[in-house]
Amino acid sequence: MNDLLEERDIGRKRRSDIINIILSAIIVLLVLIIVVLVFFLTPMSVSGQSMHPSYESGDRILVSKVGYSVNRGDVVVFKIPGNDSPPIKRVIGLPGDVVYFDIETMDYTVNGEKIDDFATSTGYNSNYFSSSNHDVYIALTTTGITVGENQLFVLGDNRNISNDSHIYGCIERDWLVGKVILHY
């Protein structure tokens, strides 16, 4: 009888140990997920139609906040000082690039070459430059804008409605929240 009670106690202890191990593993996993989400990745929601049709308002994205490189064509999220809603835009110009808008052909060029365009429209409406900073407009359409050492030139894919570098010029690299690595 004592042997039977002893075996039952051992069985209970084993089950208790297994439950403790499982609970500990779940807690460690939750802490790791929280650390990754706080320091390395950020899930976000797209707001607005400036990246249509690549990204629609309400689409979910995962943004890498560390350890990424930025290349032409990448999609980034950044904060503009004084704006609470971080925009999502495509990188068109990198440091040292000269970005030019040809009014006659309605094309953007980077370093003299027409860009592989992600734009949704083949033309721009007559109001395309209406809200642009005058200096940005003049530079873009005459000599081009040279992207500074710690800057990027960004445009929305839905160019006619996008508030982007054609309006406010280059963005500072330290404004970046991160690079979009997943769209779901």
User: Of these residues, 47, 50, 130, 179, which one is catalytic?
Assistant: 50
User: Of these residues, 64, 69, 79, 89, which one is catalytic?
Assistant: 89
Q: Which residues of 73-96 are buried (b: 16+ CB within 10 A; e: fewer)?
A: ebbbbbbeeeeeebbbbbbbbbee
Helix (H, G, I), strand (E, B) or coil at 12: helix
- Strands 75-78 and 107-110 turn out to be unpaired
Verify whether residue 45 is a known catalytic residue.
Answer: no
Which amino acid type is present at position 157?
D
Which residues lie below 8 Å from residue 84, measured CB to CB, with a gap of 6+?
none
Verify whether residue 89 is a known catalytic residue.
Answer: yes
Query: Which residues are known to be catalytic?
Result: 50, 89
